Amino acid sequence: MATASGSVVLLNASYEPLGRVSFQHAVRMLFRQVATVEEGHADRMIGPHQWPRVIKLVRYVAATWLYRPAGYTRGGVLRRDRGRCGYCGGWGKTVDHILPVSRGGPCSWLNTVAACERCNHRKADRTPEEAGMRLRVVPFVPTRAQLVAH
């Protein structure tokens, strides 16, 4: 059952993902006729519109802001690395600092990778070299568009 408290995927007129908007915002966009329902729940209606899951803008919006570097967040690191551990390739639910914060390592895109709990505990307060672990990925600064796509 769909609820009015969730979020709705927002697509540009060219079908590129722009992000997510609240359900209430999506409904306002539909009634202002700036968006149409691209995918919805066929059994539920809001006035003349299907209950939205995905909406698409009627006009193209130049989203140059999407191609700027994204702000650093823990969730962003997990999305950038697609939930894969940077050390073993397993399911990564934690964020590991390559150079530990206790040793002056920053909380930044280039110093963090997703890690499984086992690898994160094994590495502990050491660098990967000191722990005898090989980093399988090269950290990078993603754009906002790259994070939305994952």
pLDDT, one tens digit per residue, over 17-69 is 888 899 999 999 999 999 999 999 888 988 899 899 999 999 998 877 778 89
Query: Do 74 and 129 lie in a common domain?
Result: yes
Residues 78 and 37 occupy one common structural domain: no
- Does residue 129 carry a pLDDT above 80? yes
Q: What is the helix (H) or strand (E) element at residue 28, kind and residue range?
A: helix 23-31
Same domain? For 102 and 144 the reply is yes
- Domain range enclosing 114: 69-149
pLDDT of residue 1: 43
Segment 50-61, tens digit of pLDDT:
899 999 999 998
Cα dihedral sign, 100-103-108-111? negative
What is the total count of domains within the chain?
2
Mean pLDDT over each residue of the chain, to the nearest integer = 91
Q: Let me know whether 80 and 58 are in one domain.
A: no
Task: Tell me: do 74 and 25 sit in the same domain.
Answer: no
Among all chains, which residue has been given the structure tokens 């530990």? 100
* pLDDT band at residue 4 using 50, 70 and 90 as cut-offs: low
The pLDDT value recorded for residue 150 is: 63
Long-range contacts of 130-137 (CB under 8 A, 24+ apart): 133/87, 134/87, 135/86, 135/87, 135/98, 136/86, 136/87, 136/88, 136/89, 137/81, 137/84, 137/86, 137/113
Question: pLDDT at residue 72 above 70?
Answer: yes
- The whole-number average pLDDT for the span 110-130 is 96
